[in-house]
Structure 1
Amino acid sequence: MEIVHGDACFRVEPGTSPNYDAGNSLVKLMGLVETVALAESREYYNADQLQYLFPIRSLELYGPQGQDADVLDPTRQDNKTDFQKQNVRDFVVMDAFLVRGIAAAGDWSGPFLRLSYAGGPDSALAAAGGYPLGERIGLWLKVGDAATAGMLPVPYNPRSHRYEIELWGYPADDLRSRLDARGQAALDSGELAVNLDLVHGDVANFSRAALEGRLVTGVAPTDAMHPVLPLAIEVAWATADGKAWDSQGGANYRYAFNMIRRGWDNYLGVGASPNPHGGVGFLEYRNLLSNYGRYAGMNELARALEPWMFDAFNGKQHAQAVEPFMAVNYVDLHIMKGDCGIGLHRHRDNSEIFLMMRGRGWMVVGDWCKMPDRERCFEVRIMRSGDMVMLRGGNLHGLMNPTDEDAFLSMFGGYD
């Protein structure tokens, strides 16, 4: 990973504090989520399974407090009792965003993938091909190892003033008869389409009974809504005639839905254990994160050490490039009141886990550093009771309780 030194760092005058209630970056991101409209009516989607990716153009972070106010280089921000230096002041997103989730039509429930492009006069594609872009633009798309042979036509959506396409993994030829008027209109315009080569899967693949005793990472690995495996997506946008491209100079945009979210429905393995540890009765287990036994080598609990990182022993002279464990320096319990949000903040060094014990909220995990295999994005999805989400060094995260009820949260890991 690499620190993006082009990101701004806002110096905070010693003795003063930022006004987090004005122009809050977490509230801004929640506003982006609220503006997203899908091709079909709301009842056709599982709201708890919606996942959003907003690619990041740039970030602005707050600088340290007090006597460290002029230490604006993140590699030198080593005071772990100063949380201000982690906080995201503002951000700018790219022209595109992505959504995936579970759609339902009749007795079928399966995955969909939506891609949206701004296409306004200030977009990269308009700069390359001229504005206006017309009724349609083109999309080259790769999902996992499957790619389009040519370009997919992406129509202009007058409701959102964006170019948008939503691909469903519906496995039959009678989808139209199962849609309402809104969905049928989206099918006619090309906003809604079926593409089983790119998007496929079935919620039945991951029922509790189907996974008994199995290694979940090996079950239906190309399912676009696999509960554990990340989904890699590669994208390039073009004018309708294919003469101008927004493709990151030919390298394409590489995205990943890869939030490490585990819980009652997202796990590595599930089964029943009789007489657990010599006790009585039966215990039903779910393996969530592990480097043990058949999960050895997964390395989700490990971390690669960069030169600027403190290791588990609070030093920077690393004897090895990888720590094969998660270092925990604190364990906390919290009550998030209604409309409380843990703001967007970056972690330079340490891993951290949020465990939702009771309640629900919008969980955000993204990349503060540039990772070698994907663009920086905010990934947003619902966190329910029993869910846990892991962050690693180089990431950022936040959590919003949008309800009027308390949410009970446990947090553990390392401070940054």
Structure 2
Amino acid sequence: MHQINHGDSVFILENGESPDYNHGNSLVRLMSHMEATRLAAEREHYLHESLQYLFPFRQLELYGPAGGRSAAQNINPENQDNKEDFQKQNIRAFTLSDTALTRGWANAGAWTGPFLQISYWGGPDSTLAKASAAEDFDMTDHLLLWLKVADNAVGELLKVPYDPETDRYQLEIWGYPGNDLINHLDERGRLGMETGRLITAPNLIKGSAGDFAREGLNDLNMFGVAPENSMHPLHPLHIEAAWAHPSGAVWDSKDGDNYHFEFNMMVRGWDQFLKVGMSPNPHGGVGFLEYRNLLSNYFEFKNSGELGREIPDWSFDANGNKGLTATEKFMAVDYMDLHIMKPQCGIGLHRHRDNQEIFLMMKGRGLMVVGDWAHMDNRERCFEMRTLREGHFAMLKGGNMHGLMNPTDEDAALFMFGGYD
């Protein structure tokens, strides 16, 4: 369910004034937070194009509608029906929350499997630091963490050491199944294990990359293949967390409800598909075709709902009506565009109220950002970031915000289709 977050603010420009997107750009600022992320081992232990980041945020500031003060009264997204006024979609600024998360594939020796890093801001303005000061507690060299990953909860609180390199309390959990990981790590990784910043917990972070090897996947519904794998290509990964002072007397737990985070960007492509197989004489032709179902309303996927959307009464349906349609089982397309993104070009962070949209990377790669600008019932609002590779696409739902950065020194070719606003 989409709930408009009324804690956000709107920046109104004077009549005739245009936003300055070249200074203090929100997409560039978000990229800097990604670049500041430090993993527990050296680079060679990670498959970097697999890395996915979650940056929860407390508040957004959006630009107001074009037209300046004369349009200032129309700042409620429920009433912003002009689909051609893109300015009102654009995000001017944001305030991050204290927690940040990263997941991906790690490797050590012959093992390649999932890891999760979770960290907490170490500054005096964090929620827990303020609460500790109010109770006359000093922040120390570690925090305590209650953590639940999918259906797997910790039996006892985890110790999360302070990392002076990042000014964050930081813990990285690998799904490595043995007790000899330290023998396969570099100096940085060994130090991480010795200081407690890197631990193994295969009962919490589950699976291996081999679960999704192409061999043996023919005609299988991928939703049913290794569904507990913490890097499953289709299933979202839900994480519940609460932080505590080492004394156990002061908590940052969202008043006991705990924080709920979710890696849920919908990405499909050559290695993220519903089903894969071989078709002899495809549609009465000759030879063999290897196929991958990416999104579908056919056969066993006819009730998946992935191509459809739930429509709140303040959004337009495919026919341009409000409040008449609650759900659509299909994706409406209002436009199809080809884009060439020049090096260091970025499509800015912006939100869509109504329609769905697909970003298909045809050539090159980019850093895709997707998140909820409206509040969802089952998760905190976050910026989720990951690499979009050739032949892969990200699907955006109504209520999502998004952006795309080409950080390379080569052109990227992008095919986009869907609907605005």
TM-score w.r.t. the length of structure 1 is: 0.98
CA contact (8 A) 2:312 2:323 kept: no
The equivalent residue for 2:76 is 73
Contact 1:11 1:72 survives alignment (8 Å): no
Instruction: Select the residue among 408, 411, 414 that pairs with 1:409.
Output: 414
Which amino acid in structure 1 is aligned with residue 143 of structure 2?
I
Paired amino acid for 2:393: M
* Residue in structure 2 matched with residue 245 of structure 1 by the alignment: 251
Q: Is contact 2:142-2:162 (8 Å) kept? A: yes
Hey, what does 2:127 align to over in structure 1?
A: 124
Q: Give runs of aligned pairs for residues 377-396 of structure 1, distance below 5 A.
A: 377-396=382-401
Counterpart of 1:93 (choices 80, 93, 96) is 96
Name the SS for the 2:216 alignment partner: helix
Where does residue 7 of structure 1 map in the other structure?
8
1:288 aligns with 2:294: yes
Q: Which residue of structure 2 aligns with residue 133 of structure 1?
A: 139
Moved more, 368-377 or 171-180: 171-180
Give, as a single letter, the amino acid of the residue that structure 2 aligns with 1:98.
L
Match of 1:185 in 2: 191
Percent identity between the two aligned chains: 57
Shift in Å, 1:317? 3.3
Q: Contact between 1:14 and 1:69, CA under 8 Å: does it hold in 2?
A: no
The one-letter amino acid paired with 1:51 is: Q
* Structure 1 partner of 2:338: 333
Aligned to 1:311: 317
The aligned amino acid for 2:117 is R
**For 1:48, what is the secondary structure of its paired residue?**
helix
Per-residue CA distance 1:147-180 (angstroms, 9 max, x = gap) = 0122000011111111000000001111111011
Deviation track 1:213-260 (CA, whole Å, cap 9, x = no partner) reads 101010111100001110000000001121110000000000000000
Q: Quick check: 1:224–1:231 contact (8 Å CA) kept in 2?
A: yes
Structure 2: state its 5+ residue gaps. none
Give the AA of the match of 1:316.
K
- Of 210, 217, 235 in structure 1, the residue corresponding to residue 241 of structure 2 is 235
Report the AA paired with residue 146 of structure 1: N
* Conserved 8 A contact 2:337-2:417: yes
Task: Determine the structure 2 residue equivalent to 1:345.
Answer: 350
CA contact (8 A) 1:221 1:229 kept: yes
Q: Is 1:103 matched with 2:103?
A: no
Q: Is the 8 A contact 1:97 1:115 kept in 2?
A: yes
Paired residues of 1:275 and 1:282 also in contact (CA < 8 A):
yes
Out of 197, 213, 219, the residue aligned to residue 213 of structure 1 is 219
Spell out, residue by residue over 1:336-390, the C-alpha distance to the aligned partner (whole angstroms, 9 max, x if none).
0000000000000000000000000100000000001100000000011001000
- Shift of residue 69, structure 1, vs aligned partner: 4.4
Deviations 1:237-289 (A, max 9, x none): 00112111000000000000000000001111100111111111111110111
TM-score (norm 2): 0.97
Which residue number corresponds to residue 375 of structure 1? 380
Q: Does 1:31 align with 2:37?
A: no
- Indicate if the aligned counterparts of 1:121 and 1:132 stay in contact, CA closer than 8 A: no
Contact 1:327 1:414 in 2 (8 A): yes
Equivalent residue number for residue 162 of structure 1: 168
- The code of the aligned residue for 2:58 comes to R
- Check the 8 A contact 2:314/2:323 in 1, yes or no: no
Separation of aligned partners in 2, 1:317 and 1:168: 47
Partner SS for 2:376: coil
- The superposition leaves residues 87-139 of structure 1 with CA deviations (integer Å, 9 ceiling, x where unpaired) of 00000000010000000001100000000101321111112223641011100
Q: Is the 8 A contact 1:334 1:408 kept in 2?
A: yes
Paired with 2:100 and 2:323, the residues of 1 have a C-alpha distance of: 40
* Structure 1: stretches of 5+ with no match in the other structure: none
**In the alignment, is the contact (CA less than 8 A) between 2:266 and 2:396 conserved in 1?**
yes
Q: Give the letter aligned to residue 89 of structure 1.
A: R
2:206 to 200, 204, 209: 200
In 1, the alpha carbon distance for the partners of 2:84 and 2:165 equals 47
Partner of 1:46: 47
Query: What is the rounded CA distance, in whole Å, between the counterparts of 1:178 and 1:99 in structure 2?
Result: 22
Letter paired with 1:108? W
Contact 2:53 2:101 in 1 (8 A): yes
Aligned to 2:153: 147
Secondary structure of 1:307 counterpart: coil
SS in 1 for 2:165: coil
Q: Distance in 1 between matches of 2:131 and 2:156?
A: 20
Q: RMSD across aligned C-alpha pairs, in angstroms?
A: 0.9
Tell me whether 1:361 sits opposite 2:362 in the alignment. Answer: no
Q: How many equivalent pairs are there?
A: 415
CA contact (8 A) 2:122 2:162 kept: no
Q: Report the Cα distance in structure 2 between the residues aligned to 1:124 and 1:210, rounded to whole angstroms.
A: 48
In 2, distance between residues paired with 1:47 and 1:143?
22
Name the SS for the 1:211 alignment partner: coil
**Contact 1:13–1:65 under 8 Å retained in 2:** no
Which deviates more from structure 2 when the two are superposed, residues 209-218 or residues 134-143? Answer: 209-218
Q: Distance in 1 between matches of 2:323 and 2:130?
A: 47
Alpha-carbon distance in structure 2 between the residues aligned to 1:163 and 1:50: 20
Q: Tell me the alpha carbon deviations over residues 171-207 of structure 1, each in whole angstroms, 9 at most, x when there is no partner.
A: 1111111011111111011000001111021111101
